[in-house]
């Protein structure tokens, strides 16, 4: 079953855990241009579940906790600097997106460049260490 993300349908949805998911939601929207589709706060101020959309794609995230799923997925900062996956998001203008991310304080880990296989992209870390890739891809 696909999930409606705005006016389009997403069939692959990366998930992430954050120590401070409320701050992450705001930062991801400001720095990367995500839009809030659904944000479900918990009584203690943490985020139980959030869905952020970008074009026809979506990411889901939440605050780290002690439930069954949290035993399987941890915030990036708890793992050191390496990550086991990183989303690639296609943008209309990689240079403009790069400038927006830098202005918001993203840590650039791979500078923006033209790829031999086509496209222009860059990689960065968000404030909690998750790696994100953005580019024109081809």
Rounded to whole angstroms, how far apart are CA atoms 98 and 53? 18
Residue whose C-alpha is closest to residue 97's, from 62, 60, 54: 54
The domain made up of 9-79+86-135 is a member of CATH 3.40.50.720: no
What residue segments make up the domains of the chain, in order of their start? 9-79+86-135
Per residue in 26-58, pLDDT (tens digit) is 999 999 999 999 999 999 989 999 999 999 999
Check residue 66 and give its pLDDT: 75
pTM: 0.85
Q: Count Cβ neighbours within 10 Å for each residue of 19-56 and write b for 16 or more, e otherwise.
A: bbbbebbebbeebbbbeebebeeeeeebbeebbbbbbe
């Amino acid at each position: 079953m696909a999930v409606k993300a705005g006016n389009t349908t997403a069939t692959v949805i990366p998930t992430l855990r954050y120590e401070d998911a409320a701050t992450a939601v705001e930062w991801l929207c400001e720095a990367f241009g995500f839009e809030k589709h659904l944000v479900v706060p918990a009584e203690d101020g943490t985020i139980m579940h959030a869905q952020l959309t970008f074009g026809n794609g979506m990411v889901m995230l939440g605050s780290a906790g002690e439930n069954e799923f949290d035993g399987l997925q941890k915030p990036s900062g708890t793992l050191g600097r390496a990550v086991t996956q990183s989303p690639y998001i296609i943008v209309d203008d990689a240079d403009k997106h790069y400038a927006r991310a830098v202005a918001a304080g993203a840590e650039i880990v791979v500078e923006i460049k033209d790829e031999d296989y086509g496209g222009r992209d860059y990689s960065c870390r968000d404030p909690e260490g998750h790696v994100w890739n953005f580019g024109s891809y081809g």
